[in-house]
Amino acid sequence: MPQPRRFRLALAAALLVAVPSAALSACSAGSDAETLLIRPDTPETTLGALKVQDVLLVTGPEGGGGPLAVVASVYNGGAATDRLELISVNELPQNAAITPAPNRPQLQIPQGQTLTVGGPGNTTAVLQNPDNIVRAGDTRLVTFRFAQSGVVTLWVPVQPAVGYLQGYGPGGS
C-alpha cells in the first residue's frame, strides 16, 4: 500500500473516533450540570416580567464618599412596555437624578429589550451622598420603581470605580 494512502486511512480513522467522542462528551453534563448553578456575584431579582440584574452602587475611584452612580440592567420579558420611574437608596434623602440615554428618552423598556443604567452612552442615575453616608464596601437597600410593574427593593454592594468599573462612577470616573 502506498504511503499517502496509508496516511489518509489513518487520518480518517482518527477523525472517525475524535469527532463523535467530542460531540458526545459535550452532552454528558445534562440539564442539571453544576455549572448551571453558578450565579453572578451581583444582586438580581424579578418583578413580574422584569428582571433587575447586575445592580451596583459605584463611588468615585478613591472609594470614599461623594456622589454615587447606579449600575443595573433591567430586562423586560413581558408583553407590555414598562418605564423606570425612580431609583433611591434608603439612607439618602433624595432620589437618583436619572438622565435618559439618547435612544431611550422616556426611560421605557419595550418588550424583549433591556434598559442599561450606568456606563458610557447609557442611561445614568446619580445619587447625592451628603455627609458621605455611603462608602465603598457598604451594602445598601436600593429601590427601583416602575410604572407598570411596581416597586422592588434589594441589597446592593457599593464598589469604587476602579478596574472593570472604571468609567461607571459618578461623572464617568
Q: Where are the domains of the chain?
A: 3-36, 45-172
3-state secondary structure of 153: strand
Q: At 67, list the grid cell.
A: 456622589
Which amino acid, 166?
Q
* Total-model pTM: 0.77
**pLDDT, tens digit, 9 for 90 and up, residues 82-125:** 999 999 999 899 999 999 998 888 999 999 999 999 998 999 99
Which pLDDT does position 171 carry in this prediction? 78
Please report the pLDDT score of residue 131 as a whole number.
Answer: 84
Cβ 54 vs Cβ 40: under 8 Å: yes
Which is it for the CA torsion 158, 163, 167, 170, positive or negative? Answer: positive
CB 61 within 8 A of CB 166: yes
pLDDT score at 96:
97
User: What class has domain 45-172?
Assistant: mainly beta
Q: List all residues 6 or more positions away from 146 whose beta carbon is below 8 Å from its beta carbon.
A: 47, 50, 82, 83, 84, 85, 109, 152
Rg of the Cα atoms in the chain: 24
pLDDT at residue 144 in the model: 98
How far, in Å, CA of 140 to CA of 65, rounded? 14
In the predicted model, residues of the chain with pLDDT beneath 50 are none
